[in-house]
Chain A
Amino acid sequence: MSDVLLEVRNLVKHFPVGGGMFGGPVATVRAVDDVSFTVRRGETVGLVGESGCGKTTTGRCILQLERPTSGQILFEGTDLITLPAEELRVLRRRIQVIFQDPFSSLNPRMTIGQILAEPLKVHRIIPEKTARAEKVQELLAQVGLLSQHADRYPHQLSGGQRQRVGIARALATEPSLIICDEPVSALDVSIQAQIINLLEELQSRLGLTYLFIAHDLSVVRHISDRVVVMYLGKIAEVADRTALYESPVHPYTRALLSAVPIPDPKLEASREHTVLRGEVPSPLNPPSGCVFHPRCPIAEPRCSAEIPLLREIHPEHRGACHLA
C-alpha cells in the first residue's frame, strides 16, 4: 500500500495576464505556487480549498491539460512534463478524469455508446467492433446504467446519469489514477451520495486511486484517506483524514472545519465558530510571508515577513504555519 503512484514536486503554474503582441505580460496570477504532495497506490487523496485556491489547476497540470511553469509530476517515476508527446499520449490512458459539470463534459453530438467506445478504439484496447460494443455494455452495467442508454444522446439523460457516463468513460481505458474534479458538486444531494458510493465501490473492486478535488469538506471526509488543504496556491496542511479533521494544526483548516455545519442543532448552537475576516487576497498580488496572515486570527509579526515551510508537525501530519 505504501508505494507511491503519483508524486507532485514543487509544482508551479503562473498565468500571465495582459500584454499584447509586443508588450510582455503585465502581471502573473500565481495559481499554483510550489505545491508538493504524493498519492499512494489505492488510496484516495482529498484536495480541498476555496474556489480560486488552485486545486483545479493542480489537477489540470497533473492531467497535462495545462503546461506547468515549473516542477515535476512523477507518475510511477516518469516525469509527465518532460515526456515526449507521443509517449505522453499513450500514457494518458492510465490517468483519467471525471469533471464537475456533467452537462458540458459529454460531447452533445455523440451517443453514449460512441463516447464510451471511442477511447477503446483509439488506444486499440479492443480493436474489434462487436467486442467493443460488448465492452460498452459492460461499462454501462458497471456504473449502473441500462444497455439501452448506449443509443441515447447526452441531452436525453439526467445529471446523475450523465455523471455515471463520465465515470464509465474514465474507466474505459482501465486507468490507475482518476482525477475527480468536483465530481459531485453540480449534483443534487441525493444523487451525490449515489455517485460517491459508486466511486467507492469501483475503487474497492478495481483497485483505483483517486485524487478527489472538492470544496465540500464533509464529502471529502467521507471518501478520503488523506487530505491536502490548499490556500491561495499553496498547501496549508497535509494529514490523514482523522488527524486533519480531529486535530488540525493550521488556523486556516480550523476555520474551514468550523464552517461545516453539524447536523445537531444543540451542538451547533453551543460550539465556537472561527469566522475569517475579509476576502481571499488576489493571487495576482499575494500577501508577503504567510499568504494567510492577513486573515489569520493568531497571526504574529513574523507571519508577514517569513514564508512558513510545510514541515512535519506530527508524524505524517504536515502544516505550513510558524505557530503550529
Chain B
Amino acid sequence: MAVTKETLDRLATPKPERARWLQATLDFTRQRPLGAIGAAIILVMAVVGLSAEWLAPYDALQTDYGAMLAAPSGAHWLGTDAYGRDVFSRVIFGSRTALIVGLGASIIGATLGALIGVASAFFGGRIDLVVQRIMDVLISFPLIILALAVVAILGTGVQNVILAIAIPMIPRCARVVRSSALAVREMPYVDAARAAGFTDARIVLRHMLPNVTAPYLIMLTAFLGQAILLEASLSFLGLGVQEPVAAWGLMLRGAAVEFAETAPWMAIFPGLAISLAVFGFNLFGDSLRDALDPRLRTQ
C-alpha cells in the first residue's frame, strides 16, 4: 500500500516548469539560428538600454564646444555631433528611447487590438460586422499616415508618439486575433462556459483571450520592429521625440544632413542602430511566428 501511494505521488508530481522553458529555448536556438541571432540583438539592446547610465562614457546631453564635429577617436569612439555631444553615448541612450516607444506602442496596440478582435469574434453578428468595417477603414491608411494624423491631433513628445504608433496597430492586430478567436469561440470549453452561466466579460477575458496568445505574441514582436522604425521616422520628420532627448531618428536630422559629407559619423551610426534593431526584431518575430504556427511546425 505504501508503495502504491508513493508511486502515485511521484506520478502525480508534474515536471518542473523551468526545465520545460529551458528546453524550449534550446530547441528554438537549434532549429531557428536566425531567430536566436535576432533574440541576441534584442537582448543586447535591452541590456544597453537598461544600463545606459553605466555603459555610456558621456552624458547624452553634455555638450563640448571644444570638440564639435570631432571624428571618431579614442576619446569619442563614434565621434561627436554639431554641439559636441558624444555620438556613442547618444546611440546608447537612444536605444532606451527606442525600447520605451517600441515596447509601449506595440504592447498597447497589440493588447487593445487583441481585446477588440476577441470581443468582436465572440459577439459576432452585427457587432462583429460594424467593428470589422471600422477596422477596415483604419487599416486602409498606411501606418505612417495614420501616425502622422494622430501626432497632428495630440502633439509631439514621447507619450504622444507611443499613442500615435499604437493606434494604427490596433486594427491590424484585431483582424489577425479575430480570425483565431473565431475558431476558439467554437471550442466546446467556450460552450461549457456559456452553459455554466458565466458573464460575457468573463468568457472573453478568461476563456478566449488566453487561448489566442500565439497570434498575439506574433503580432507583438512583428510590431516591435515596425514601431521602432516608425518612431525613428516620426522623429526624423520632427513630429516625434523632441530635442534634446537622445533618439536615433532625431540624430539623423538637422545638422546631420547639413554635415553629411564632412561628418558622416553623425548619421551613419544611429542609422546602423536603427537597422540593426529592426533587423533583430524582424528576425526574432519571423522565427517566433514559424515556431508558434502549428501549420508550419515540422515535427
Contact A65 B195 (CB under 8 A): yes
Q: How many residues of A contact B (CB 8 A)?
A: 37
| Chain A residues, CB < 8 A from B197 | 88-93, 119, 122-123, 173
Is B299 an interface residue, CB under 8 A from the partner?
A: no
CB interface residues, A 46-91, toward B, < 8 Å:
60, 63-65, 88-91
Contact A97 B191 (CB under 8 A): yes
Whole-angstrom distance from the CB of A241 to the nearest CB of chain B? 27
Contact B13 A65 (CB under 8 A): no
Partner of A93, one of B192, B193, B196: B196
Is A104 an interface residue, CB under 8 A from the partner?
A: yes
| Chain B residues, CB < 8 A from A205 | none
Q: B176-220 toward A: CB 8 Å interface, digit per residue (1/0)?
A: 000000000001110111111111001000110011000000000
Contact A107 B189 (CB under 8 A): yes
Contact A151 B14 (CB under 8 A): yes
Whole-angstrom distance from the CB of A61 to the nearest CB of chain B? 12
| Chain B residues, CB < 8 A from A63 | 191, 195
Is A101 an interface residue, CB under 8 A from the partner?
A: yes
Contact B192 A92 (CB under 8 A): no
Counting residue pairs across A and B whose Cβ atoms lie within 8 Å, the total is 77
Contact B192 A105 (CB under 8 A): yes
Is A13 an interface residue, CB under 8 A from the partner?
A: no
Given contacts A104-B188, A108-B211, A152-B14, contact A119 B8 (CB under 8 A): no
Q: B14-52 toward A: CB 8 Å interface, digit per residue (1/0)?
A: 100000000000000000000000000000000000000
Determine the residue in chain A with the shortest Cβ distance to B209.
A109
Whole-angstrom distance from the CB of B253 to the nearest CB of chain A? 46
Is A146 an interface residue, CB under 8 A from the partner?
A: yes
Whole-angstrom distance from the CB of B205 to the nearest CB of chain A? 12
| Chain A residues, CB < 8 A from B195 | 63-65, 92, 95-97
Determine the residue in chain A with the shortest Cβ distance to B11.
A148
Contact A101 B196 (CB under 8 A): no
Give the docked Cα–Cα distance between A146 and B11 (Å). 11
| Chain A residues, CB < 8 A from B210 | 107, 109-110
| Chain A residues, CB < 8 A from B194 | 65
Is A242 an interface residue, CB under 8 A from the partner?
A: no
Give the docked Cα–Cα distance between A101 and B191 (Å). 12
Contact A173 B196 (CB under 8 A): yes
Determine the residue in chain A with the shortest Cβ distance to B194.
A65
Give the docked Cα–Cα distance between A173 and B193 (Å). 12
Whole-angstrom distance from the CB of B19 to the nearest CB of chain A? 15
Give the docked Cα–Cα distance between A88 and B198 (Å). 11
| Chain B residues, CB < 8 A from A65 | 191, 194-195
Partner of B13, one of A89, A101, A106, A148: A148
| Chain B residues, CB < 8 A from A169 | 192, 196
Contact B196 A96 (CB under 8 A): yes
Q: A98-122 toward B: CB 8 Å interface, digit per residue (1/0)?
A: 0111001111111000000011001
Is A295 an interface residue, CB under 8 A from the partner?
A: no
Partner of B192, one of A88, A89, A99, A146: A99
Partner of A104, one of B189, B196, B202, B206: B189
| Chain A residues, CB < 8 A from B211 | 107-109
A-B CB contact pairs (8 Å), 9 listed: A65-B191, A65-B195, A101-B188, A105-B191, A105-B192, A108-B211, A119-B197, A156-B14, A173-B196
Shortest 3 CB-CB contacts between residues of A and residues of B: A92-B197, A148-B12, A105-B188
Which residues of B does A touch, CB under 8 Å?
8-9, 12-14, 129, 187-189, 191-199, 202, 206-207, 210-211
6 further A-B pairs in the complex, CB-CB below 8 A; given A63-B195, A65-B194, A169-B196: A92-B195, A104-B188, A105-B188, A105-B189, A107-B189, A149-B12
